[in-house]
Structure 1
Amino acid sequence: MMNQVVIDKVKEALITASSGFREDQKEAYRRAIEQEGHLQSCWVLKTLLENALVAQSRKSPLCDDTGIPHLFLEIGKNNVLTGDLLENIKEGVREGLKCLPGRPMAIKGNTCERLDQSGGLDDDPQALQPAPVLIKSIDEDILRLHVLMLGGGPAIRGKTYRVFHRHNVNVVIDEIVAWSKDAVAQLGCTPCTLAVGIGRTQFEATSMMIESMVYGNYGVQSELENEITRKVNESNVGALGLGGNVSVLATFLNVGPQRASGVRIVCLRPCCCVEPRRACVIL
């Protein structure tokens, strides 16, 4: 059964995620502008913030790569998730992609045709399927949906792999920093935000990384997050690779359960200068 209220809420959340910075993100850019001594990079930071404010006022996309919808659903103890609700959420995503509008990115065809793109591009923005929904139980008596719009550049530069921890947290952090320096130098769309998840499997580490973007706050950084940001900024990549003090605005680090093993599975996403594009809505 179609519930237009839910559909409209999801549609607006997708548009909000795609077209504006959150307040903590704006403040992070303002701090970066104050800290950046490189004139060209400082101009880039100011322009990125200005463009974000214009996009927000017009409800237009922050970037030509409007992103793949990723959905993170929080379910309170007394709430029920039904197939109808999931269908309404997916319809809200389709409506949001149409209204935004999203960039046509869906590839038509069978398995092989989708892999080699021989099936051609579907020019309907609504044809773009969202990623599988991640679901988390929470103590609040509420049902909350987070919508993230994730672009292709960070996915290309991201990495999920094992780290031999050697019973030393610094070994893990140093490996994350080394990965990040390589990724940031190749990304192009800097300054970036580093999203990092550490888990027991590739799936769990990636889920932790997604969750880090959902809950990450530019104004609230742990000691480890600040350490990663500081060390990666020493590479002096700067905005758009022009050089400067600010290559990374912040780090969102999320460590999940671990097992007795010599390795930690780490997932890194160097989010581009407009990410994480996210918004949430109470359903």
Structure 2
Amino acid sequence: MTKSRRPLTSLLLVEERLLEAEYFTGLMRRRGGAEFGYCLNAFVSASRSVTFLTQKEMARVPGFDAWWAMQQTAMSRDPAMRFFLKLRNYSQKEGRISLVGVSRGHGASRRWSHCFAGTEDQVPDTLLHRDVTDCCREHIAKLAQVVIACTKRFPFHACPRSALTPEGMQALGFSVEELGSLVGLDPSWIRTSELPLEDLLRILREQVDGLDIREIERLARWTPRRTGGTFATDPFGEELQRRLVEQLEGSRRQVDASVLLGEMLLHAWWNDRNGGGHPQGD
């Protein structure tokens, strides 16, 4: 029996982690308090796995190390991406991610908006005063763009179905018997088959999952919501949230804590009377 020299590589698990991260951002829009923190921790873990798994899966691919070094340089120069990478380390090893949250509405209609503030590292200007869920979704888009670039640079290593083509077979240096062995078919069946090469490869492709490039491209196309603010109908709550963030971030504008507390109590009373809404700091 023919034994393959090396396994096929793929970014299937990377795609899965991207979709997992997106799933948690969907939950975050409907959660507040501790539950929001749980979802955020799950998000930063899943999103960090995207780069870990990409490196692990592609480590032995010729030319990948040099290509990845350039991607790492680009990511390290992006303050927002660097911030998220550090968030994962902090949440896993140090403690809770610091946030300021504001809610509006009651029961099933309640919606939350959170901002990063008071974290171990200063919040980048590109993330300051922005909804955390939007920031997370933007981070997914950037990661998805890196993954797409990887699939274009290493198409036959990124997707098993692309490898199981005449072009992939030639680029990777596999024989059709080796490819058959990799997907679990008996190489002797391939040796004795009278089917044309194209038909044999089509049968092999049916045995494996393919990378869903369209899904990854969908994630990469995300753009921020264009709204009038955190809560367009609650400018007082939005301003209070902004001032809390500025205080935690050490703004040059000094905020009197007693005045801020009074505003928080007034905001809680007003929104309980008019449909709900409470600021929250973690």
Q: State whether TM-score is above 0.5.
A: no
Which category of TM-score, normalised to the shorter sequence, fits these structures?
under 0.3
Q: TM-score, normalised by structure 1?
A: 0.27
Structure with more of its chain in strand, by fraction: 1
Q: TM-score, normalised by structure 2?
A: 0.27
Q: Which has the larger radius of gyration?
A: 2
Q: Which has the higher helix share?
A: 2
